[in-house]
Amino acid sequence: MSHENEENKVRYRRTQSVTRAEEITKKESKQRRSQPDKPCHQPRDSLFSWSSGFNNFTGLVNWGFLLLTMGGFRLVLENFIKYGIRVDPVQWFVVLTGRNEGEGHPSLLLIFYSIVPILICLIVEKGLAADILMESAGMIVHVINIVVLVLIPMVVIHVKGQTFSLVGAMTVCFIYCILFLKMWSYVQVNLWCRTRYKHRRSRSGRRQSISIAQLQNEREHEQERTSNGNGTIPNKEKDAVPKLVHYPDNLHLKDFFYFLLAPTLCYELNFPRTSRIRKRFLIKRILEVVIGVHIVMGLFQQWMIPSVRNSLVPFSNMDLTKTAERLLKLAIPNHLMWLCFFYLTFHSFLNLMGELLHFSDRNFYSDWWNANNIDTFWRSWNMPVHKWCVRHLYIPVVELGYSKISASVIVFFISAFFHEYLVSVPLKTFKIWAFMGMMAQIPLSTVSKFMEVNYGHRWGNIVVWTSIILGQPLAIMMYYHDYMITNYSDVVA
């Protein structure tokens, strides 16, 4: 509210300094209209002036969209004229199915091996719940198990990298990252539940010495309290209030694997569930996934690959003018692909999984496109990761006594590590461009907030969009250059 008041004051001062329209009284206006010269002028500001109050620019918005459409269509024609039709669904099938991998399909073997750390995690949790393992020993096993989970793809792909396809290596790294985050959440939530469970058990004292007859009487009284007067529990009430799962009854494979497949990174003992599967909704999401994959692959094959290849020589020669031209040309297909990938992943695929698993929390994204600063963007565009960071990293770090700024830096550091992990490990080029790009979000956040506070929400939003549109293609050009220098230096020379 204070920010809006300041803006209104600024606009009022501008109006006073530009025109005397407000100084002309209604009485003077009436006197002018009564004159025989038939006056046609009245105090009005130009439409583009802040003081005019005019805000209907629908025609200009339509003009902008039409201009962008025509420019995009021209780029499409230029691409087809220059490179021909490069879209080949057969190559998509070869790449996505891993037929160009070495013997034994190492990517599939690593994916199947991920069951081992999952089982180790569940066995340790059962041992801790039954007091077979000491708390400290169990936590040490958990830490080693989760850390080794992340290190396995790094070591195996580095040693046997020539047998992995790029898509296979990226899939393995992505799955192992998801497992790392989910297992962290699973261990931490069970630790919270176990601590409360043992605390309650210690307070109850020697309640285990109660006789069987007393337990039966307590159960009968419990049934009488929930009965409908006839000694029976009504079926409607049973259906309306589902029975909650309590610790340690959740420690079994069915519950754990449901969480691993559910479209969330944060574990709960009782997830919100839907009562049925909506068939029309499910069919729509399936069609979107199938069509979306083809659109993304087609854009990548027809538009992205030629643009990235053409950027290699100017980038290697440090020709700033041509590099800037290549960057801007690459930004358009890259951004279009990113938008398609966002919709395909966060709306189509995650809703598809949620519908199949009766998972009713579908808050996978917020209105990130309206973000006025970088912080708001990172809090809204990927809600599963944001919830995990807040619940399992930010709040625990703050509760340990660290400041909120330190906790935010730690969150960005962990995020930067996994961004680098997902790029460098499959490419086998251990650089730090993605890491530096994520850490650069901290000072960029300060810039976007400065623009938002001093120049308005619109300029803060422009900074956000600029970082998205230009940051990603710049990182792609860097990694492609380093990958070609590392593996095909003779070609580049």
DSSP-derived secondary structure for 450-472: HHHHHH-HHHHHHHHHHHHHHHH
Note the Cα 38 to chain centre separation in Å. 64
Long-range contacts of 427-435 (CB under 8 A, 24+ apart): 427/166, 427/479, 427/483, 428/157, 428/158, 428/161, 428/486, 429/479, 429/482, 429/483, 429/486, 431/478, 431/479, 431/482, 433/475, 433/478, 433/479, 433/482, 434/475, 434/479
pLDDT at 332: 81
Alpha helices in 343-428 (DSSP H): 350-356, 374-380, 383-389, 395-399, 404-427
Closest CA relative to residue 351, chosen from 339, 338, 364: 364
pLDDT at 151: 92
Strand partners, 273: 359
Closest CA relative to residue 417, chosen from 172, 101, 100, 177: 177
pLDDT at 198: 81
pLDDT at 125: 92
Per-domain residue ranges of the chain = 105-199+247-261
Phi/psi at 401 (5° precision) = 110, 0
pTM of the full structure: 0.77
The three-state secondary structure class of 359 is strand
The answer to whether residues 479 and 431 touch, using CB atoms and an 8 Å cutoff, is yes
Note the Cα 338 to chain centre separation in Å. 12
Cα–Cα dist 99/82, whole Å: 30
Closest CA relative to residue 368, chosen from 378, 359, 358: 378
The answer to whether residues 352 and 285 touch, using CB atoms and an 8 Å cutoff, is yes
Cα–Cα dist 198/400, whole Å: 22
Q: Can you read off the two tokens belonging to residue 241?
A: 């209030």
For 28-65, give the DSSP string: HHHHHHTSTT---------TTSGGG-----HHHHHHHH
- 419 a catalytic residue: yes
pLDDT at 35: 72
Cα–Cα dist 422/433, whole Å: 12
- 6-to-3, 11, 13, 51 alpha-carbon distances in Å: 5, 9, 11, 15
CA 408-413-416 angle, 5° bins: 125
pLDDT at 485: 64
Q: What is the pLDDT along the chain (493 residues), one digit of tens a residue?
A: 445 555 454 444 444 444 444 555 566 666 766 677 777 777 777 777 777 777 777 887 788 878 878 877 777 787 778 777 777 777 767 666 666 666 667 888 888 999 999 999 999 999 998 888 888 899 999 999 999 999 999 888 888 777 777 788 888 899 999 999 999 999 999 999 998 888 787 776 544 444 444 444 444 544 544 444 444 444 444 445 568 888 888 899 999 999 999 999 999 999 999 888 999 999 999 999 988 888 888 888 887 777 777 777 676 667 677 777 777 777 888 888 888 889 999 999 999 999 999 999 999 998 888 888 888 888 888 899 999 999 999 999 999 888 888 998 899 899 889 988 888 888 877 778 788 888 888 888 888 888 888 888 888 888 888 888 888 777 777 777 666 666 555 444 4
Buried/exposed code over 46-55 (b: 16+ C-beta within 10 A; e: otherwise): eeeeebeeee
Buried/exposed code over 321-345 (b: 16+ C-beta within 10 A; e: otherwise): eebeebbebbbbbbbbbeebbebbb
Handedness of CA 403, 404, 409, 415 (dihedral sign): positive
The three-state secondary structure class of 273 is strand
- Give the relative orientation of helices 166-204 and 404-427 as an angle to the nearest 10 degrees: 140
Q: Which of 142, 419, 457, 481 is catalytic?
A: 419
